[in-house]
């Protein structure tokens, strides 16, 4: 595994080593020893799959507030996405900065998202499946989010949006540092 730190401290793109032959390939998506060597979370309590029928769907930007904040390890196992993480850590020099990367079933990259970030993605083709492991259990009363089109964050989505859930459309815009909720 190759851990590539982004411009936002603690946020990593991960490239896997692929062993290929005439059958296809094999790759290790997670290794406790390698994550431990990088001082990253090694305990994930849930593994989730999100299937998306259409191109242009935006899901996010979601987070869990303390004490249910969570680390995420996100991969796209079919199709492709533009994956985005927003730094919501108020004491961070990169507060409200975002990082986006392309994940797909061909590049087999992952995004390691530390606690204190909002996360979301946009599908770039139909029939896209996203797999993500999380370090904490879901708590509906600790769920929060940032609007996908919040001008304070200004995410540059690659496509026009085709479908956005009512919950994500109705999120309030951030107006000041104290409104992040994490």
User: Catalytic residues, which ones?
Assistant: 62, 132
Report d(CA 182, CA 176) in Å as an integer.
Answer: 13
Q: What is the dihedral of CA 143, 182, 131, 81, to 10 degrees?
A: 110
The DSSP secondary-structure symbol of 46 reads E
Report d(CA 134, CA 78) in Å as an integer.
Answer: 19
Residues 130, 76 contacting (CB under 8 angstroms): yes
10 Å CB burial of residue 133 (0-12, 13-18, 19+) is buried
Report d(CA 139, CA 10) in Å as an integer.
Answer: 24
Q: What is the CA radius of gyration of the chain?
A: 16
């Amino acid at each position: 595994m190759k851990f590539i730190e982004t411009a936002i401290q603690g946020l990593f793109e991960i490239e896997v080593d692929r062993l290929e032959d005439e059958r296809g390939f094999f790759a290790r998506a997670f290794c406790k020893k390698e994550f431990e060597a990088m001082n990253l979370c090694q305990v994930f309590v849930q593994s989730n799959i999100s299937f998306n029928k259409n191109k242009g769907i935006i899901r996010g930007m979601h987070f869990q507030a303390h004490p249910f904040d969570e680390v995420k390890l996100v991969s796209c196992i079919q199709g492709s996405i533009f994956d985005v993480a927003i730094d919501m850590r108020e004491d961070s020099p990169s507060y409200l900065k975002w990082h986006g990367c392309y994940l797909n079933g061909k590049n087999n990259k992952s995004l390691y998202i530390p606690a204190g970030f909002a996360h979301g993605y946009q599908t770039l083709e139909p029939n896209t499946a996203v797999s993500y492991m999380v370090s904490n259990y879901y708590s509906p009363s600790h769920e929060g989010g940032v609007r996908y089109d919040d001008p304070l964050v200004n995410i540059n989505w690659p496509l026009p949006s085709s479908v956005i859930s009512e919950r994500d459309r109705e999120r309030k815009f951030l107006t000041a540092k104290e409104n992040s909720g994490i």
